[in-house]
C-alpha cells in the first residue's frame, strides 16, 4: 500500500499541471457542465488541444492512437482537469463508450475508420440505448433493424441521447429478430447521423435547457458493414459498452464532485463562519468526497492487478449522485434568501442534480445490481 | 499509487479471521465472563506487531495492526487490545513495550475522563504518566467494554507521546469490522428466511437496505484504510483522515447494525441473537472519545479554517 504517486505518476502529474496552466485560458475555467458541453464552440477546439497534447485516450492502446498508459494515469488526468476546472473532451461518448466497444467487437476496418477520429474530436458520438418503453429494462428495446440484403432498415425511437444534436455517429441497440427469446434478438450497430431518415429533437429538461434528445429513425438504411458484433449479439456488445461506462466513471464523477465541494467550501467560508451545525454538514460533504476518492483508488488498484473491476466500484455512481443532490441543495441553503436567485451555479447545479440518480443507471437499478451481483442475494425477477 | 494490502498482509487477515472464528465463535455464551486469551494473542505475535524485533516484537507496522483491529471487531473480541495497542502503546518506553509484546501487561488510557477496561488492565496512561489501574468501573452499553473512573495515585512519567490519530484510526477499523459482520448476518438471513413463499432477499425493500449498507461499509473501509496508511506513514493528513474515518465509520457501523436488525425482523430484536452485541459495540465505538459531530467540527476547522467567534 502506497497512496503516493509513483515517480512516473508524479512526473506525469507535474507535466500535465504545467500544460494545463499554459494551455487553458483563464476565462474558460470554472466549467458549469450541462449544455455548455456542446453549445460552446471552445469545446471542440479544446478537445483538439487535448488530443494534440497527447491527453485524449490515455489508456487506449498505442496502435489505436492512444498513449497506452495504465489506468492510474487516467485517474490523475481527471483529478488535474478538475483542479484546473477545465472543460472535458467533448467526445465523452466516443471516448468512454463507442471507442472501447469498437476496440473489443469492431472489425479492423471499423477501427481504422473511427478510433483516431474519436480521439481528435473530428467525430462526435452519441448513444441510442433508451427508448420510451425501455429505460432500465434495456432488453425491451423495440427499434426494429430489419435485414434487406446488404442493408438493415431501421425504424424506431430513441430517447435521453446527449450529444445527438451535434453527433456524427450513434451507437445503437435494436431488435433484429422479434421472434427470438429476450436478450437473443438484439443487434448492435453504428449509424451515421447524417443518413436520410434520422431526425433529432431536443428534449427540454427541468433546468430549462436541452442536453438530451429524442432520435427518430424512419426507414434509415444502414450498411451491414456497420454492425458491431454479429446479428443477435447486441446484448453482449451492449454490456461491453456499459462496463466501460462504469469503468472510469467513478473517477470522472469524483473529479466533478471535487469541483462542487471546493465551491461549497468557498461558500461556507463566506457565509457560515460561526454556525457549527452548518460547518459540520459542509465537513460531511468533504469527508464523503474523500471516501469516494479512496474507494476509487481501491477499485483502480484491483482493476490494474486483475483486469476485472472490483466490486467497490459499483458504489461510486450510486453515492456520487446522492451526494451531488445533497450538496447542491446545501449550497442553495447556505446562500439564504439569495438561494432563490439564479446565480449561474448553485441554482443550475441543484436542479441538474435531480437527473443524477436517473441517468446512466437509476439508483434503483444500481441497488439491484449490488444486491444480486455483489451481495449474491436471490434475484428479484 | 497502490491501495491494496500486500500478500503477507492479506495472509495475516485470513489467519486472524480463521483463528478468531474458532476461538470466538458467534454461538458462544456472550453472557459468560469474558476471556481475553491474552497469552494466546502474545503467542500469535499480535501484541508485538509494531514492537521492534529486538524488543520481542515482530517489527511490522500500524497497517498490520489495523488489519487486526478490524478482524478482532468482526469476531467481537472482548479484551483490551484497543486499550493496550490502540491507546497506550505510543506512550510506552522500551521496557514497557517488551512486556506488552510478551503478553505480561495489559494497558489502557484515560480518554475524556474515562478509562476503558479499568478493572481488567494493569496500568493506565494519563497525560504521559503511568498509573496503577485502580478505581470504580461502570458498565456501559457494551458489557465487554466497561469504563472506569481512575483513582489517581502516584504517576510514573512515560517517554512516548500522544497519538490521537492512531487511536481514532484503530477505532475506525474496528467499526469497519463490526459493520461488515452486521452486513453479512443480514445477507445470510435475507437469503434463507422465506416469507410469502420466497426468500425475503428478493423483496427490494429488504435487498436495497443491504445494498445501502454495503455502500456505507465500502466507503467506511476506504476512509479507515486511508487513515491507517496516513498513521503508518506519519503522513501530514493523518489527523484529518483519522477524524474523518472515525466519524464516518462509526456512524456507518451503527446504521449497518440497525438495518440488519430490521432485516432480521423479530429475531434481530431478541437477546438470543448475537446481532445486538454488534449493535452495542457500534454504539460504544461511536460514543467513545470524540463523537461524530465533534469530529466533523475538527474536519471543518481543517478544511475551512477555524471559525472566528465574535
pLDDT in tens, B111-151: 999 999 999 999 999 999 999 999 999 999 999 999 999 99
Average pLDDT over residues B290-299: 98
Q: Is the pLDDT of residue A40 over 80?
A: no
Average pLDDT over residues A216-223: 98
Domains present along chain B, CATH in parentheses: 7-157 (1.10.540.10), 164-302 (1.20.140.10)
List the single range of A38-42, A244-248, A343-347, B28-32 with lowest mean pLDDT.
A244-248
CATH number attached to the domain at A7-90: 1.10.540.10
Q: What is the pLDDT of residues B92-107, one digit of tens each?
A: 999 999 999 999 999 9
List CB contacts (< 8 A) between A372 and chain B: 207
Average pLDDT over residues A23-42: 79
Facing residue for B207 by CB, picked from A283, A319, A380: A380
Give me the percent of chain A exceeding a pLDDT of 70: 97
Which of residues B242 and A212 earns the better pLDDT score?
A: B242
Nearest CA distance, B45 vs chain A (angstrom):
22
Task: Identify the CATH assignment for A125-233 out of 2.30.110.10, 3.30.70.100, 2.40.110.10, 3.40.50.300.
Answer: 2.40.110.10
Max Cα–Cα distance, chain B, nearest Å: 67
The structural domains of chain A, with segments of one domain joined by +, span 7-90, 125-233, 248-374
B8 touches chain A (CB under 8 A): no
Nearest CA distance, A150 vs chain B (angstrom):
45
Q: How confident is the model at residue A200 (pLDDT cuts 50, 70, 90)?
A: very high
Please provide the average confidence, as pLDDT, over all residues in chain A: 92
Q: Is the pLDDT of residue A35 over 80?
A: no
A7-90 and A125-233, same CATH topology: no
Q: How confident is the model at residue A245 (pLDDT cuts 50, 70, 90)?
A: low
Selected residues 57-76 of chain B with any CB under 8 Å from a CB in chain A: 63
Which of residues A313 and A288 earns the better pLDDT score?
A: A288
Give me the percent of chain B exceeding a pLDDT of 90: 96
Does domain A248-374 fall under CATH 1.20.140.10? My reply is yes
Q: Report CB contact under 8 Å: A265, B244.
A: no
Q: What is the pLDDT of residues B35-45, one digit of tens each?
A: 999 999 999 99
Please provide the average confidence, as pLDDT, over all residues in chain B: 97
Q: What is the pLDDT of residues B241-270, one digit of tens each?
A: 999 999 999 999 999 999 999 999 999 999
CB–CB contacts below 8 A, A to B: 165
Active site residues of A: 245
* pLDDT recorded at residue B217: 98
ipTM of this predicted complex? 0.97
Q: Is the pLDDT of residue B296 over 60?
A: yes
DSSP assignments along chain B, one per residue:
-B-S--HHHHHHHHHHHHHHHHHS-TTS-TTSPP---HHHHHHHTGGGTTS-GGGTS----HHHHHHHHHHHHHTT--STHIIIIIIIGGG--HHHHHHHHTT---EEE-BTTBEETTTT-SEEEETTEEEE--EEEE--SSTTS-EEEE-----EE-SS---HHHHHHHHHHHHHHHHHHHHHHHHHHHHH-EETTEEGGGSHHHHHHHHHHHHHHHHHHHHHHHHHHHHHHT-TTHHHHHHHHHHHHHHHHHHHHHHHHHHHGGGGGSSSSTHHHHHHHHHHHHHSSS-HHHHHHHHHHHHH-PPPP-
* pLDDT recorded at residue A243: 76
Q: Is the pLDDT of residue B310 over 70?
A: no
Could you tell me the pTM of the whole model?
0.95
* pLDDT recorded at residue B34: 77
* pLDDT recorded at residue A310: 74
Residue of B nearest to A272 (CA): B307
Amino acid at each position: 500500500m502506497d497512496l503516493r504517486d509513483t515517480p512516473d505518476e508524479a512526473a506525469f502529474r507535474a507535466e500535465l499541471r504545467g500544460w494545463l496552466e499554459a494551455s487553458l485560458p483563464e476565462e474558460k475555467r470554472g466549467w458549469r457542465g450541462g449544455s455548455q458541453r456542446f453549445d460552446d464552440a471552445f469545446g471542440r477546439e479544446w478537445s483538439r488541444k487535448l488530443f494534440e497534447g497527447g491527453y485524449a485516450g490515455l489508456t487506449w492502446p498505442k496502435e489505436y492512437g492512444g498513449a497506452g498508459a495504465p489506468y492510474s494515469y487516467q485517474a490523475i488526468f481527471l483529478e488535474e482537469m478538475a483542479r484546473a476546472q477545465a472543460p472535458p473532451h467533448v467526445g465523452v461518448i466516443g471516448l468512454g463508450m463507442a471507442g472501447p466497444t469498437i476496440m473489443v467487437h469492431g472489425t479492423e476496418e471499423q477501427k481504422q475508420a473511427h478510433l483516431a477520429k474519436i480521439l481528435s474530436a473530428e467525430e462526435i458520438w452519441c448513444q441510442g440505448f433508451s427508448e420510451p418503453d425501455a429505460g432500465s429494462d434495456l432488453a425491451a428495446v423495440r427499434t426494429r433493424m430489419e435485414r434487406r440484403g446488404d442493408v438493415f432498415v431501421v425504424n424506431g425511437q430513441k430517447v435521453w441521447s446527449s450529444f445527438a444534436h451535434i453527433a456524427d455517429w450513434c451507437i445503437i441497440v435494436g431488435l433484429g429478430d422479434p421472434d427470438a427469446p429476450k436478450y437473443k434478438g438484439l443487434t448492435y450497430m453504428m449509424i451515421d447521423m447524417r443518413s436520410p431518415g434520422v431526425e433529432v429533437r431536443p428534449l427540454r429538461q427541468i433546468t430549462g435547457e436541452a442536453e438530451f434528445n429524442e432520435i427518430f429513425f424512419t426507414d434509415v438504411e444502414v450498411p451491414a458493414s456497420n454492425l458491431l458484433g454479429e446479428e443477435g449479439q447486441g446484448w453482449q456488445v451492449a454490456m461491453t459498452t456499459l462496463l466501460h461506462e462504469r469503468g472510469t466513471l467513478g473517477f470522472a464523477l469524483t473529479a466533478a464532485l471535487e469541483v462542487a465541494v471546493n465551491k461549497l467550501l468557498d461558500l461556507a467560508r463566506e457565509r457560515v463562519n460561526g454556525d457549527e451545525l452548518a460547518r459540520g454538514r459542509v465537513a460531511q460533504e468533504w469527508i464523503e468526497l474523500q471516501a469516494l476518492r479512496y474507494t476509487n483508488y481501491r477499485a483502480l488498484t484491483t482493476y490494474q492487478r486483475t483486469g476485472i473491476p472490483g466490486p467497490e466500484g459499483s458504489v461510486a455512481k450510486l453515492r456520487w449522485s446522492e451526494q451531488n443532490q445533497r450538496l447542491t441543495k446545501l449550497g442553495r441553503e447556505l446562500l439564504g434568501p439569495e438561494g432563490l436567485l439564479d446565480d449561474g451555479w448553485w441554482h443550475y447545479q441543484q436542479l441538474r442534480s435531480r437527473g443524477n440518480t436517473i441517468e446512466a443507471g437509476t439508483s434503483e437499478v444500481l441497488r439491484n445490481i449490488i444486491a444480486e451481483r455483489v451481495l449474491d442475494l436471490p434475484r428479484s425477477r | 499509487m497502490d491501495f491494496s494490502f500486500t500478500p503477507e498482509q492479506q495472509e495475516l487477515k485470513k489467519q486472524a479471521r480463521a483463528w478468531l472464528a474458532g476461538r470466538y465463535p458467534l454461538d458462544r455464551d456472550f453472557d459468560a465472563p469474558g476471556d481475553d486469551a491474552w497469552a494466546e494473542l502474545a503467542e500469535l505475535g499480535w501484541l508485538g506487531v509494531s514492537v521492534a524485533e529486538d524488543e520481542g516484537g515482530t517489527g511490522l507496522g500500524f497497517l498490520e495492526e489495523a488489519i487486526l483491529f478490524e478482524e478482532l471487531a468482526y469476531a467481537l473480541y472482548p479484551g483490551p487490545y484497543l486499550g493496550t495497542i490502540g491507546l497506550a502503546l505510543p506512550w510506552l518506553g522500551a521496557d514497557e513495550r517488551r512486556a506488552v509484546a510478551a503478553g505480561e501487561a495489559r494497558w489502557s488510557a484515560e480518554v475524556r475522563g474515562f478509562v476503558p477496561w479499568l478493572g481488567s488492565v494493569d496500568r493506565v496512561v494519563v497525560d504521559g504518566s503511568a498509573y496503577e489501574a485502580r478505581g470504580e468501573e461502570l458498565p456501559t452499553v457494551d458489557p465487554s467494554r466497561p469504563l472506569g473512573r481512575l483513582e489517581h495515585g502516584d504517576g510514573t512519567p512515560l517517554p512516548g507521546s500522544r497519538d490521537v490519530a492512531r487511536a481514532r484510526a484503530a477505532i475506525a477499523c474496528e467499526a469497519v469490522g463490526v459493520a461488515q459482520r452486521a452486513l453479512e448476518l443480514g445477507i445470510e438471513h435475507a437469503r434463507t428466511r422465506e416469507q410469502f413463499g420466497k426468500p425475503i432477499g428478493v423483496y427490494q425493500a429488504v435487498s436495497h437496505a443491504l445494498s445501502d449498507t454495503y455502500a456505507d461499509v465500502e466507503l467506511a473501509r476506504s476512509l479507515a484504510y486511508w487513515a491507517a496508511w496516513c498513521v503508518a506513514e506519519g503522513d501530514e493528513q493523518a489527523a484529518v483522515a483519522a477524524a474523518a474515518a472515525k466519524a464516518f465509520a462509526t456512524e456507518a457501523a451503527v446504521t449497518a447494525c440497525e438495518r440488519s436488525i430490521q432485516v432480521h425482523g423479530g429475531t434481530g430484536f431478541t437477546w438470543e441473537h448475537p446481532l445486538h452485541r454488534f449493535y452495542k459495540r457500534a454504539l460504544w465505538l461511536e460514543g467513545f472519545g470524540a463523537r461524530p459531530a465533534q469530529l466533523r467540527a475538527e474536519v471543518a476547522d481543517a478544511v475551512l479554517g477555524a471559525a472566528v467567534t465574535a
